[in-house]
Amino acid sequence: MVFDVFGTLVDWYTSISERARRIAARAGVELDAERLTVLWRGRYGPALDAVRLRQRPWCDLDQLHRESLAETLAELGVRLAEADQEELVAGWHQLRPWPGVPEALAQLRRLLPVAALSNGHIRLLIDLTRYAGLSFDTLLSAELAGTYKPHPAVYQTAARLLGLAPDRVVLVACHGWDLAGARQAGLRTAHLPRPTEWGPNAPARAVPEADITASDITDLVGRIALLATPASG
Amino acid sequence: MVFDVFGTLVDWYTSISERARRIAARAGVELDAERLTVLWRGRYGPALDAVRLRQRPWCDLDQLHRESLAETLAELGVRLAEADQEELVAGWHQLRPWPGVPEALAQLRRLLPVAALSNGHIRLLIDLTRYAGLSFDTLLSAELAGTYKPHPAVYQTAARLLGLAPDRVVLVACHGWDLAGARQAGLRTAHLPRPTEWGPNAPARAVPEADITASDITDLVGRIALLATPASG
């Protein structure tokens, strides 16, 4: 069982916007922290595309976040010192988990092997899992495939490292594009909804297609407990 | 901080020889289980060399163990059914930890990030850590570098994935060849002695050179606690 991390397990919107508000207040800079957060995250997909489409070589999220933050600040007409920008970039290593996530992962690990499968690089994931108290059997990352989800190589590399046929691996994610990529690479999929991922006022999204559609993480654990044999495989 | 696994954290000699004895008794085959274990493990270095020297492409330990077991059985003139041989090969996924290891790793993880750095492939390490109750921030493996320790690429790949300069990484191992490889790749080293790694009657070995020489794992934890800052880096 592999888990997407940003959005699915941790709440980047609240964590990053609080950090932005704090940094702006300290620097005496006027800033709409929520707007910055949403615009910054909005540049995430296009930044990954450049690597996915091989328009540039592998480049980790710290560097992509650094570049897209500078672009976002320019768009907003906000000037922020380099050290403050670095503190914002580092914020992606310290995101709070959604309620119940640490407990759910611990429960699932008693049933079967559970890994992260994130676009975050291994170092970022080490920092983030330590900060958020997330426990995995191992961390799997787009970095190990040299490209980003939803490129099929990322899911295929994960299955290969787990020593499993792709259809013996379930990806849990809140994003339709991630579930679709996993399905295309032959994995099973589970949808975990995170309606406030983009903030409390974000518009509702269509429920994406998946083999399992959980109403929340407790429901997911219950369904997996029914399916999994007690011995790990 | 990265840990070698076979020999350093888990006792392959006792685990494998017990399994060999059980399988031989069940099959009604006469077998010196301790001798088989030592001869089998003795073929480990040469098997890795073939990959390290690029005489053959990457090949995981299950396959290398399978081949070297067949050679060892032939050397001993012992016939064992294929299923029994596979059960022995699978034994390397289920090795018991040395006393105090699970507790020591948990203590160290409160001080700093701790990863495995093993010649075992990721799937083997997942199975082994679950079986032995070993807890890491992530699993790093020779598999991620496509060659085996002590090739410098394995240590350098580990440092790169940890996002650290090599001299900010400490390898803990009981084997001189592993510590020497790590040192050559620019890592710091800590020696943890395992005098009965090759069984209770194995001859004493010279203490290898290392930045830290611990008398046992409790001593190692104490020394790291003195060096490490409480906040993880």
| Whole-number Å distance between alpha carbons of A187 and A115 | 14
What does the pLDDT average to over B164-171? 98
Q: Do A138 and B144 touch (CB under 8 A)?
A: no
Residues B135, B121 share a domain: yes
On whether both A164 and A103 belong to a single domain, the answer is yes
CATH of the domain at B133: 3.40.50.1000
Q: Which domain holds residue B167?
A: 2-10+97-227
Q: Could you say which of B123, B129, B162 has the minimum Cβ distance to residue A161? A: B123
B232 in a structural domain: no
Is residue B210 located within the same domain as residue B102? yes
Of A100 and B203, the structure prediction assigns the larger pLDDT to A100
Low-confidence ranges of chain A (pLDDT < 70): 229-233
pLDDT of residue A38: 97
In a domain, residue A16? The reply is: yes
> What's the whole-number mean pLDDT along residues B195-214?
93
Average predicted confidence (pLDDT) for chain B:
96
In this prediction, residue A233 carries a pLDDT of 42
Domain C-terminal end among A48, A66, A93 = A93
Interface of chain B against chain A, CB under 8 Å?
113, 115, 121-127, 129-130, 135-139, 143-144, 161-164, 232
pLDDT tens digit string along A179-195?
Answer: 999 999 999 999 999 99
Q: Which of B26, B59, B93 is the last residue of a domain?
A: B93
CA terminus-to-terminus distance, chain B: 11
Question: Is position A87 within any domain?
Answer: yes
Q: pLDDT category, B228, cuts 50, 70, 90?
A: confident
Same domain as A58, residue A25: yes
State the total domains in chain B: 2
pLDDT in tens, B16-40: 999 999 999 999 999 999 999 999 9
Q: Please say if the pLDDT value at position B217 is more than 90.
A: yes
Q: Is residue B27 part of a domain?
A: yes
User: Among A122, A124, A129, A157, which would you mutate to test the B interface (most chain B Cβ atoms within 10 Å of its Cβ)?
Assistant: A122
For an interface test with A, the pick among B126, B129, B140 (most A C-beta atoms closer than 10 Å) comes out as B126
Please determine, for residue B230, whether its predicted confidence score (pLDDT) is greater than 60: no
Inter-chain touch B122–A113, beta carbons under 8 Å: no
The last residue of a domain, from among B42, B66, B93: B93
Residue pLDDT, tens place only, B56-88: 999 999 999 999 999 999 999 999 999 999 999
Tell me which of A15-24, B94-103, B221-230 is least confident: B221-230
CA distance B92 to chain A (A): 15
**Is A132 in the same domain as A212?**
yes
Whole-angstrom Cα distance, residue B159 to residue B164?
5
SS percent in chain A: helix, strand, coil, step 5: 50, 10, 40
Q: Is the pLDDT of residue B229 over 90?
A: no
pLDDT at B205: 86
Mean pLDDT, rounded, of chain A = 96
